[in-house]
């Protein structure tokens, strides 16, 4: 996978679990089909949406293989390998590579109070040397517990085979400088839903975000509308994406609301795996009411 392949709609897929915590492979494949039909250029396996923190190396490998086989070259597979330790990250990366992943999605070392520049560089350099597939860096201060500055990202590009970044910093100053400095060097993929259209307008290559898949045919129009002059249609789409993002991120514990939403539209997303609990009936009603207000319907 190259920088030019990382564009457009790149969804992070859920891992459907049954009530007893087993992976529902048929459900996973059905959601792969759904995302491909919406125009996905690649699919991220074992990311935040996929409850990566509950997945063993073997499970990551199996999910990667299922996606690779189902997509059959029609879209790439990017597999998450983030972990607090390098040893665990390399184990996840090895399972992904052995099962056909085109790239790895990697945060800096997670769940530490702080990482120095040298520690960040050492982690990404070691990950790059330990695998034969390229890396999509993932900057998410809320999830990793630490954030990478624009200068940090620039330094990492010099030591590791980075083809792109999923940028989930919620600071438009950061997005603005990142796009200005590096959009010609790597694919910059927007994370937060409310930054997608502004980011595309400023040169982002695409988006790895949660919520756009509920918009059906409109999902495939996000990139083209984002590159056009602002219009009432663009503003309306931006509002729908923003409301979806707020709903899914602000209801229950992530990604319970996302799974509940997929179940509501008829996709077999199952339930979260422990320690996350499924949405309560009241929370499902809230999601259903918002979907009704946004015109989101069950798939046929």
- Report, as an integer, the average pLDDT of 190-198: 95
How do 162-167 and 187-190 pair as beta strands? parallel
Active-site residue, selected from the candidate residues 138, 245, 259, 286: 138
Q: What is the pLDDT of residue 300?
A: 64
Active-site residue, selected from the candidate residues 3, 92, 111, 166: 166
Q: Is 145 exposed, middle or buried (0-12, 13-18, 19+ CB in 10 A)?
A: middle
The edge-to-edge listing of strands for the beta sheet with 76-80 is 8-9, 206-207, 187-190, 162-167, 135-139, 103-106, 76-80, 42-45
Beta bridge partners, 23, equal 17
Q: What is the pLDDT of residue 113?
A: 62
The token pair that represents 228 in the structure block: 């056009």
Instruction: Check the CA dihedral 167-67-132-51 and report its sign.
Output: positive
Range in 88-97, 138-147, 279-288 the model is least confident about: 138-147
> What are the residue ranges spanned by the domains of the chain?
3-228
Q: How far apart are CA 201 and CA 176, in angstroms?
A: 11
Question: Is the pLDDT confidence value at 12 over 90?
Answer: yes
Q: What is the pLDDT of residue 112?
A: 65
Q: How far apart are CA 255 and CA 251, in angstroms?
A: 9
Nearest of 110, 109, 166 to residue 135 by alpha carbon: 166
Q: How far apart are CA 260 and CA 263, in angstroms?
A: 5
- Report, as an integer, the average pLDDT of 3-8: 97
In this prediction the pTM is: 0.95
Block residue for tokens 């069950």: 298
Q: Indicate the pLDDT class of residue 269, thresholds 50, 70 and 90.
A: very high
Dihedrals φ, ψ of 299, to 5°?
-75, 155
Nearest of 174, 189, 165 to residue 10 by alpha carbon: 189
- Report, as an integer, the average pLDDT of 145-151: 87
Q: Count Cβ atoms below 10 Å from residue 126 Cβ, excluding itself.
A: 15
Spatial contact of 200 and 227, defined as CB atoms under 8 Å apart:
yes
Number of H helices, E strands in the chain: 12, 8
Q: How far apart are CA 1 and CA 120, in angstroms?
A: 23
- Kindly provide the b/e burial profile for residues 274-299, where b requires at least 16 CB atoms within 10 angstroms of the residue's own CB: eebebbeeeebebbeebbeebebeee
Block residue for tokens 């702080």: 114
Q: Indicate the pLDDT class of residue 142, thresholds 50, 70 and 90.
A: confident
Task: Provide DSSP, 121-140.
Answer: HHHHHHHHHT-SS-EEEEE-
Q: How many percent of the chain have pLDDT more than 90?
A: 91
What are the pLDDT digits (tens) for 84-140? 999 999 999 999 999 999 999 999 987 666 788 899 999 999 999 999 999 999 999
Q: What is the pLDDT of residue 188?
A: 98
3 is catalytic: no
Spatial contact of 104 and 96, defined as CB atoms under 8 Å apart:
yes
- Report, as an integer, the average pLDDT of 25-49: 97
Q: What is the pLDDT of residue 144?
A: 72
Nearest of 158, 137, 159 to residue 148 by alpha carbon: 137
- Report, as an integer, the average pLDDT of 193-211: 95
138 is catalytic: yes
Question: Is the pLDDT confidence value at 180 over 80?
Answer: yes
CATH for 3-228, options being 3.20.20.70, 3.40.30.10, 1.10.240.10, 3.90.550.10: 3.20.20.70
First to last CA, the chain: 33
Longest dimension (CA), the chain: 52
Spatial contact of 25 and 15, defined as CB atoms under 8 Å apart:
no
Q: What is the pLDDT of residue 72?
A: 97
The token pair that represents 234 in the structure block: 């663009």
């Amino acid at each position: 996978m190259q920088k030019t392949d990382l564009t457009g709609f790149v969804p992070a897929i859920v891992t459907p679990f049954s009530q007893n915590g087993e992976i529902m492979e048929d459900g996973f494949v059905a959601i792969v089909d759904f995302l491909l039909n919406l125009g996905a250029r690649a699919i991220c396996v074992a990311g935040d949406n996929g409850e990566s923190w509950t997945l063993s190396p073997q499970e990551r490998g199996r999910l990667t293989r299922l996606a690779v086989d189902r997509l059959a070259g029609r879209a790439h597979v990017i597999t998450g390998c983030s972990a607090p330790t390098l040893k665990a990250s390399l184990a996840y990366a090895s399972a992904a590579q052995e099962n056909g992943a085109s790239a790895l999605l990697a945060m800096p070392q997670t769940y530490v109070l702080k990482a120095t520049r040298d520690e960040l560089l050492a982690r990404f350099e070691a990950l790059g040397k330990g695998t034969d597939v390229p890396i999509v860096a993932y900057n998410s201060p809320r999830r990793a517990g630490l954030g990478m500055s624009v200068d940090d990202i620039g330094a990492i590009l010099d030591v590791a085979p980075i083809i792109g970044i999923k940028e989930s910093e919620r600071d438009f100053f950061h997005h603005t400088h990142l796009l200005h400095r590096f959009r010609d060097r790597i694919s910059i993929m927007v994370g937060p839903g409310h930054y997608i259209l502004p980011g595309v307008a400023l040169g982002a290559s695409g988006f790895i975000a949660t919520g756009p898949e509920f918009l059906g045919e409109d999902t495939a129009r996000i990139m083209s509308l984002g590159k056009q002059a602002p219009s009432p249609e663009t503003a309306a789409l931006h509002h729908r994406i923003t409301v979806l993002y707020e709903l899914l991120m602000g209801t229950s514990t992530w990604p319970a609301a996302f799974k509940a939403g997929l179940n509501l539209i008829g996709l077999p997303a199952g339930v979260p795996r422990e320690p996350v609990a499924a949405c309560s009936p009241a929370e499902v009603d809230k999601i259903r009411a918002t979907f009704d207000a946004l015109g989101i319907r069950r798939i046929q």
